[in-house]
């Protein structure tokens, strides 16, 4: 797993945490670590093999907890915190955020109240007139969502 993939996982973790309304300080630490990891010149796999946890913790923004997750990610392709989080909040919710008019609150409302957790489910929901039931989505926003779904 390369640095870019590791950084992407931490960015997605932070985004899911934001959707859930988790501690903003924790999600900021994951975002900061992701930004540094993405451009770090040395592959983290190499650093972990040669210097272990101490080498990883020497990277700005990478503390003991994040270093542990990096090692777990390198060894197993995933880490426990990620698996627990996606078991509770589907990763496909992040795809909804790419649509104009859908922010974190709306995505969570769609998931919690209407069990919409993917673009495919949203298309069915919209086709059935479901957007009329969602508080906070007016006619203009509904039109933007519909138009962006047509191009997918």
Instruction: Read off the CATH number of the domain in which 55 is found.
Output: 1.10.150.110
Contact (CB, 8 A) for 13 and 84: no
Q: Can you give the pLDDT of all 152 residues of the chain as single tens digits?
A: 999 999 999 999 999 999 999 999 999 999 999 999 999 999 999 999 999 999 999 999 999 999 999 999 999 999 999 999 999 999 999 999 889 889 888 999 999 999 999 999 999 999 999 999 998 888 899 999 999 998 88
pLDDT at residue 136, rounded to an integer: 82
Reduced to 3 states, what is the DSSP secondary structure of residue 97?
Answer: coil
Q: Which of 88, 119, 141 is the last residue of a domain?
A: 88
pLDDT at residue 152, rounded to an integer: 80
Q: Which two tokens stand for residue 24?
A: 């903003």
CATH number at residue 108: 1.10.150.20
Same domain, yes or no: 76 and 111? no
CA distance 64 to 69: 9
Same domain, yes or no: 82 and 107? no
Contact (CB, 8 A) for 36 and 17: no
The domain tally of the chain equals 2
Using CA atoms, how far residue 73 sits from 29, 42, 77, 142, in Å, is: 17, 17, 5, 39
pTM recorded for the entire structure: 0.84
Helix segments in the chain, DSSP class H: 3-20, 24-39, 44-57, 64-76, 80-88, 93-96, 104-114, 119-127, 139-150
Q: Which two tokens stand for residue 113?
A: 């109240």
Return the biggest CA–CA distance within the chain: 57
Give Cβ neighbours of residue 121 (< 8 Å, ≥ 6 apart): 115
Q: Which two tokens stand for residue 65?
A: 């907890």
Domain that holds residue 137: 93-150
pLDDT at residue 137, rounded to an integer: 87
């Amino acid at each position: 797993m390369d640095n870019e993939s590791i950084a992407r996982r931490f960015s997605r973790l932070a985004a899911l945490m934001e959707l859930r309304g988790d501690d903003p300080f924790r999600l900021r630490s994951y975002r900061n670590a992701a930004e540094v990891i993405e451009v770090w010149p040395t592959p983290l796999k190499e650093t972990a093999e040669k210097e272990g946890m101490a080498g990883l913790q020497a990277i700005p923004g990478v503390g003991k907890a994040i270093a542990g997750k990096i090692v777990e990610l390198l060894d197993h392709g995933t880490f426990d915190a990620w698996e627990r989080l996606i078991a509770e909040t589907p990763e496909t919710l992040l795809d909804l955020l790419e649509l104009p008019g859908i922010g974190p609150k709306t995505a969570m409302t769609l998931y919690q109240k209407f069990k919409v957790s993917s673009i495919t489910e949203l298309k069915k929901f919209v086709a059935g007139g479901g957007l009329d039931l969602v508080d906070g989505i007016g006619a203009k926003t509904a039109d933007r969502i519909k138009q962006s779904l047509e191009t997918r």
